[in-house]
Amino acid sequence: MKRRDFIQKSATAAAATGLITALPGTLSASSRILGANERVNVGAIGLNGMGMSDLRSFLKMDGVECLALCDVDRNVLDKQAAVVEKIQGKKAVLYDDYRKLLEHKDLDAVIIGTPDHWHTLPMIEACQAGLDVYVEKPIANSIEEIDLMIAAQKKYGSVVQVGQWQRSDPHWKNAVDFVHSGKLGRIRTVKAWVYLDWKHMLPVQPDAPEPAGVDYDMWLGPAPKRPFN
């Protein structure tokens, strides 16, 4: 996939699905890259879960290359770096501080797959750096954080998409539009559910020393201080 096609399709999808963080900057972000290099250079922040899963999906597209990886756990960072090198045949630059990754001069976009409390600051700073962003759900832990993120997106014009499954495909929007059209009549009952059969119960364990290779203070970041567990 050519770089301009990637950005234009991302912008179109974002506009079609009504993502709160995607609409204002899609056209400006799309227009600013036309005529630039035809490759999409991405970085990934947070690699021990959805961040790596998202990156794998990105790398399946032609013309997408991962230039940089970041994680506060050196063991995870080294492990996933080897996976990325095997997939694309090139090494990525490794960072243990996302702020250093955002300084990488050749990046076009970043994936934020960190724990939820670490979504807001990297996303805002990525927009400030002129990068487009794919940030995992939930976008943040509070309305106040979300307001700051939206303000940053509007100010800097980045394309920002949230990894919310029920927002990324047009059929979800079509279903909502159909309900709002009134063709179903008056809605009297709505049933919702959550499927957690894939998630095993986590054991209750005592606090312990932080593992070797983990920058636990950085992992906590803006969260309240607490012992490692």
**Angstrom distances, CA of residue 40 to CA of 26, 66, 190:** 16, 8, 42
Backbone dihedral region for residue 190 (phi beyond 0: left; psi -120 to 50: alpha; all else: beta): beta
Model's pTM, two decimal places? 0.80
* DSSP SS3 for 60: coil
- In this prediction, residue 8 carries a pLDDT of 54
**Does 100 fall in a domain?**
yes
Answer yes or no: are the C-beta atoms of 111 and 49 closer than 8 Å.
no
Residue whose structure tokens are 């972000």: 29
pLDDT confidence of 11, banded at 50, 70, 90? low
Residue 11 lies in a domain: yes
Mean pLDDT in residue range 141-167: 94
The CATH number of the domain where 59 resides is what? 3.40.50.720
pLDDT at residue 210 above 70?
yes
Q: How many domains does the chain have?
A: 1
Closest alpha carbon to 159 in 63, 30, 43, 67:
30
Q: Per the structure block, which two tokens stand in for 195?
A: 């499927």
pLDDT digits (tens, 9 = 90+) for 42-97: 999 999 999 999 999 999 999 999 999 999 999 999 999 999 999 999 999 999 99
Specify if 190 maps to a domain. no
In a domain, 214, yes or no: no
Domain-located, residue 210: no
- Tell me if 17 is assigned to some domain: yes
- Do the domain assignments include residue 50? yes
User: pLDDT grade, residue 165 (50/70/90)?
Assistant: confident
Domain hosting 55: range is: 3-168
Q: Is residue 217 part of a domain?
A: no
